[in-house]
A and B are shown apart, each in its own frame.
Chain A
């Protein structure tokens, strides 16, 4: 075991840090908290500018081939970049889904002309991509989706509705999964496409979240025409394409959302219980210790993943672990932070609540974290079935033609 950089890694880290120092201020935890909310026009512009600058300097798509504008670097370089960038005040990453999930899927299934046209602008932050899988009646059960894609001569015509589309309101293109054959079992009747989000027949309506922002959207398709060249994979192979996309989701291992254990420690130092800092109270210490053990465990699990990645191994279920632990802990830490504030715990006013309302914001965001990108329940299924090898549940719906299912409600 060795936590030190190799000379090559150290050189790359120094290069990354020099670039970051020259371009961004350091992050300041004590300053106003990142609010869980919408990305406004100004933030979007900042995000695009930052992505363009990273791409120009060779820090976007670090592991991508040079042919597509990447650096052709190693997974360890990507990890080092992520570690370094996390220390700086950078705009909200609106490219995560596009660059982490959509473009890799395109690379696996689209023809060369499509890649020539779309990969570089995406990497430079000029065009943003979203993922259009979930539907009102197909959340956890993605393969239960109803949006129809019907052949019409050489083209396809799409009608239906998607939901929970992150960033659809500022996206240019999207990856669509639709039902092309309702007469076969549910997983067999799907086809994947890429679409232009600005095309006629696409309507985006932001969803107002309980946490205040509108990061997610409903997307409606009314006679949206797609050329057959927008198809990804063969007709009926859409589920396979979707699995490629979802597997790439695992690579995008994120930091835990705030308030995290460090924020709780900061709060416990700042507020008093019986005239002493809360962190001196044995009950508070016990809580912090237990969360610290989990937080440290997750951080070191990420190191295990990085090491595996750097050896060219495919990432395992670590992201399922991280998400299931982080989301529940976020909710618990946020609630406990409010508890430490006593009678003022329910104050959400950022001017009055400690740390600009970070704990109250986190409490309102936590339920979404437990749902979006795989619910707690689905993630436990994934761990149990794909990691531990426990048998799947008997499925009443799996082999039945989709159009003979009871209507999903």
Chain B
């Protein structure tokens, strides 16, 4: 079974705390914005130069001067601000962002992340990913547990070119929630209907399996 992409996003949304400035990457991370818990104060930053992203515009109200880093049309939240890219990345580099959520191709036991380049394949570039992973103290990776070939994306070492080193703190996949610890990937929660053997089978890196592993509540 396992979680859908929306369920992964929903689980990550549980990590949001009031007062957080959050940067969401493209893909599953973008979906997190749909599941912000009621009553908490949060602001989404996009590295192209906005703090306080609101909902997508109503049809007909799209503004070409208002987009997010995924180039989608957006609207500003009340209290939003626009700024240039040096300030935007200053927010990131200066550790003013409280939570960064991004996708990955691979994560290593040490928390290394690879998400920008597959050798021999077309390279589109790292965009802001290297700045984000080099700067954030609180990085959650949202990804499927395996790649389309069925190979584990949680590895002893990344095989793909790195985006950043020793930076990922937590991983939410379709199968489990795992923390990166000194000893390896620590299973914190498992998806409903997914047993430990399945997580073991699809995890190439070292796993730490506590006695009790609660189910992910989404």
A and B bind: no
A interface residues, Cβ below 8 angstroms from B: none
